[in-house]
Structure 1
Amino acid sequence: MDPRHHRWQGTEVRSHFLAGEWFSVHCFQDATTREPLRWYVNFERPHQRHSFGIDTMDLALDLVVTPDFSGHHWKDEEEYAQLRRLGVVDDYTAGRIDRARGRAIGMLDDRAGPFAVGWPTWAPDPAWPLPTLPSGADEATPSAVPYWA
């Protein structure tokens, strides 16, 4: 598939990856006004940085938050439960996710961390060139630490 034929349109997303954390936070915004449309907490294994970007493993569970933080709902709980039944999410990982759920809700309630005022309004300077992936970024590379470690 040629990625040049597919272009994200109408929205922008600002993503916040916290070092060592079992979730990331994403703010989807209107591309023209930059008004938040929704917040999205993605529960995943802690990210690993590489020269070509960020690598992680999605664990299916998500938290969708209203633009003004007044409400939220869990998404994909059945898929997460299926991963638990299949053993893809073991007891250790489930414990980490349970703690991460509490931390994410705590940050949301306290308007702390990624939910603090200000960061979603940031935008790159329009004069900056579009980033490009380095040569070989589309090739599989082994992770520094296996997911199951």
Structure 2
Amino acid sequence: MESVLADGRGLRELPLAERFDAPRVRRETTWRGSGIVQFAPAAGEWSVWWFFAEDGGFEGWYVNLEAPQVRWERGIDSSDRALDVWISPDRVAHWKDEDEFAFLTGRPGRWTPSQADAIRATGRELIDVAAAGAFPFDGTWTHYRPDPAWGPVALPSDWDRPHLAGA
């Protein structure tokens, strides 16, 4: 599933000032691009995604800064904090989407400026972990290959039940 504008266009097709207030819908989609592996720790306000090229080579880590995860029998729910970090295989870090993060800071339903400082601090902590070569940036899963016999996984019909229940 992905969120798109109500008219079907991608979210980033709108200017930043309009992007977050425009009506959205969810639509079923298939992952585009090469493979990824995601890790969401039981405690933490982040997840790490291992990105792989079409040939299977490791491309880097994507650190997604997010609200505390809520685990339930169908998976993990969280909310994106807009600010992210890309970490290359040589562990050089680059901030991503700082413009969106700044734009959303202080807006209703988002995070306050003091929370923004804490979100950015979490990103800096993970940049330091990466620079030290500690897990999850220690090479674990950089050579992962799924079993070719595995097929796509279907979502259960009530996959978004917590969203519908207001959780």
5+ residue gaps, structure 2, are 1-25
TM-score normalised according to structure 1 size: 0.77
Give me the CA root mean square deviation: 2.3
> In 2, Cα distance between the equivalents of 1:118 and 1:125?
17
5+ residue gaps, structure 1, are 144-149
> In 1, Cα distance between the equivalents of 2:122 and 2:114?
12
Partner of residue 11, structure 1: 34
> In 2, Cα distance between the equivalents of 1:92 and 1:141?
29
Q: Alignment partner for residue 72 of structure 1, among 85, 93, 96? A: 93
What's the CA shift for 1:28? Answer: 1.1
Is it true that 1:90 corresponds to 2:112 in the alignment? yes
Which of the two has greater helix per residue? 1
> In 2, Cα distance between the equivalents of 1:11 and 1:128?
15
What's the CA shift for 1:60? Answer: 0.5
Is it true that 1:118 corresponds to 2:143 in the alignment? no
Alignment size in residue pairs:
139
Aligned partners of 1:14 and 1:120 also within 8 Å: no
- Per chain length, whose mean CA-contact separation is higher, i.e. which structure has more relative contact order (CA < 8 Å, sep 6+)? 1
What's the CA shift for 1:121? Answer: 2.0
The 3-state SS of whatever aligns with 2:142 is helix
Alignment of 1:1-149 (within 5 A): 3=28, 6-31=29-54, 33-69=55-91, 71-86=92-107, 88-91=110-113, 93-139=115-161, 140-143=164-167
Aligned partners of 2:106 and 2:113 also within 8 Å: no
Once the two structures are overlaid, the 10-residue window that deviates more, 40-49 or 7-16, is: 7-16
What's the CA shift for 1:118? Answer: 2.5
Deviations 1:112-133 (A, max 9, x none): 1211113232233333454332
